[in-house]
Structure 1
Amino acid sequence: MKKILLALTAVAAMTGSASAADLASRPYVKAPMPAPVANWTGFYIFGGGGGGLSNADQSVVDTVSGTPLTITQRQGGSGWFGTVGAGYDWQFSGTWVAGVFADGQFGSIRATIQDPFNGITGNQKLETSWAAGVRLGWLAAPNVLTYVNGGYSGAHFGQTNFTDLAGVPVGAHLNSYNRNGWFIGGGVENSLNFFGISSPGWFMKTEYRSAFYSAKTQDELFDVSNVPVGNSIRANSWNQTISTSLVYRFNWTGPVVAKY
């Protein structure tokens, strides 16, 4: 009987040692880390460029009497531009983002200006403009923002030099001038990680914008004397642009995670 008890005790001791050895050999597994949390609140800067279309609703007016000599007609053109700007966004209610921004554009977007009575034509060129506005967006994904925007804008139009229909300068022009207006638009902004590029803080945005500037009446002037030719041109400006910009967001410093 004593021999049987001793044998059972020995078996139990060996079994316990083997189980303890098995437990000690299991690898340590860390608890899973939480997914990164995107935060769109903060300042950003951007720069880029694009192309645009310009349209001018215009009519010819008698300089002395102010009587319209033609019905209003629309002339168009196109060109390119560069842009730089800055802004601030607030993320709220989880997937909504609101912000304010300001930017400037420089380039050459042209629209045709014509006086059929004098047989002359020229280009009204949008050289520089600026905009200040607000935007409201919705996060289609944690790192993809779709948005609409709108606000106030100002523009500088360069001097329009006239030629005849054969393209020969006629020695007449319209002076350069400034006009104010408003704009609306929208676009998509996403982190470059969306394309598999590891670049914290760097984003890309593509935006459409439509800007409207009020009409101005200008005298056609001789180049040398600046004396009116006899007619004036009244024209407004409507510009549509598409741009792509590289954006850097200062707040995008990485996820906040718990430590284990």
Structure 2
Amino acid sequence: MKKLLLALSAVAAITGSANAADLAARPYTKAPPPVAPAYNWTGFYIFGGGGGGIWDADQHTQTTVGAVPLTIDQRQGGDGWFGTVGLGYDWQFNNSWVVGVFADGQFGSLRGSLSDAFNGITGRIKLQDSWAAGVRFGYLVAPNVFSYVNGGYSGSHWSGSTLVDNLSGLPVGLHTDSFNRNGWFVGGGVENSLNIFGLTAPGWFMKTEYRAAYYNKKAVDERFDGTNILFGDSVTFKPLVQTVSTSLVYRFNWTGPVVAKY
């Protein structure tokens, strides 16, 4: 029995020594670093928000018939607030690039002046609504942050005005009708997931965007109140509208991390 116990003890000692030697020879391997999630920006989205804007327009008085200038160009302007809604579709490619198409509308009141310096009369005019359709293109500066530029075609609707005397402020019996102007726009912005603010909101984003819209010139005719007969003079109006907006965005395809890459 003593011999058997001595033999078992010897075997245990030899086995333990071998295991210790094996552990000492085995190299240490660090755990893999945390994996950054991969996000998918391809898909449809909708958005809504609001912002503020300014516009200015080069104006001069001219004859309605023959368009003979009666004054030099003067610049008038206005400002105000608006709401916006829209939708779009994006494609992500080469990992970090995104291109998309979109359409939106803006509804509000950017008020300013329409001035006939030749006759000494002025009217209040406002941009009531506009729409745009275009493309955007940009780079993912982070997996859930998109920086982009955009551009496209835009239309706008401007109110009519009641013309008043520049000195007394009293109506002079003349007005201008509402009108539409079309043109093009350029801009840019940043869109980011709300998760960067510590919120858990899958699919919800926020975007802030600047836009400059250049509209075609319009000869705004002055007309007599009641009869709407032409007075004989018109005011040219060529507006530039600049806006800044912030919107909440919902992306229908956004499901968070979709692929883990080491």
Identify unmatched segments of 5+ residues in structure 1: 20-29
CA contact (8 A) 2:136 2:150 kept: yes
Q: In structure 2, the residue corresponding to 1:71 is in which secondary structure? A: coil
TM-score under structure 1 normalisation? 0.87
Sequence identity of aligned pairs in percent? Answer: 63
CA contact (8 A) 1:33 1:257 kept: no
Give the drift of 1:11: 7.1
The aligned runs of 1:1-260 (5 Å cut-off) are: 3-10=2-9, 34-165=35-166, 166-256=168-258
Give the drift of 1:98: 0.3
Give the drift of 1:138: 0.5
Give the drift of 1:4: 4.4
User: Match for 1:110: what amino acid?
Assistant: R
Q: CA separation in 1, counterparts of 2:164 and 2:199? A: 51
Q: In structure 1, the residue corresponding to 2:257 is in which secondary structure? A: coil
Give the drift of 1:14: 10
TM-score under structure 2 normalisation? 0.87
Q: In structure 1, the residue corresponding to 2:217 is in which secondary structure? A: strand
User: Match for 1:191: what amino acid?
Assistant: S
CA contact (8 A) 1:41 1:88 kept: yes
User: Match for 2:219: what amino acid?
Assistant: T
Q: In structure 1, the residue corresponding to 2:41 is in which secondary structure? A: coil
Q: In structure 2, the residue corresponding to 1:252 is in which secondary structure? A: coil
Give the drift of 1:255: 1.8
CA contact (8 A) 1:56 1:111 kept: no
Over the residues paired in the alignment, what is the CA RMSD in angstroms? 2.3
Give the drift of 1:164: 1.8
Give the drift of 1:60: 0.1
Give the drift of 1:183: 0.3
More displaced 10-residue stretch of structure 1: 56-65 or 38-47: 56-65
- How many residues align? The count is 246
Q: CA separation in 2, counterparts of 1:33 and 1:235? A: 59
Q: In structure 2, the residue corresponding to 1:242 is in which secondary structure? A: strand
Give the drift of 1:171: 2.5
Q: CA separation in 1, counterparts of 2:64 and 2:181? A: 21
Residue by residue, what CA displacement relative to the aligned partner does 1:105-126 show, whole Å, maximum 9, x if unpaired? 1111123111122221112211
Q: CA separation in 2, counterparts of 1:108 and 1:155? A: 12
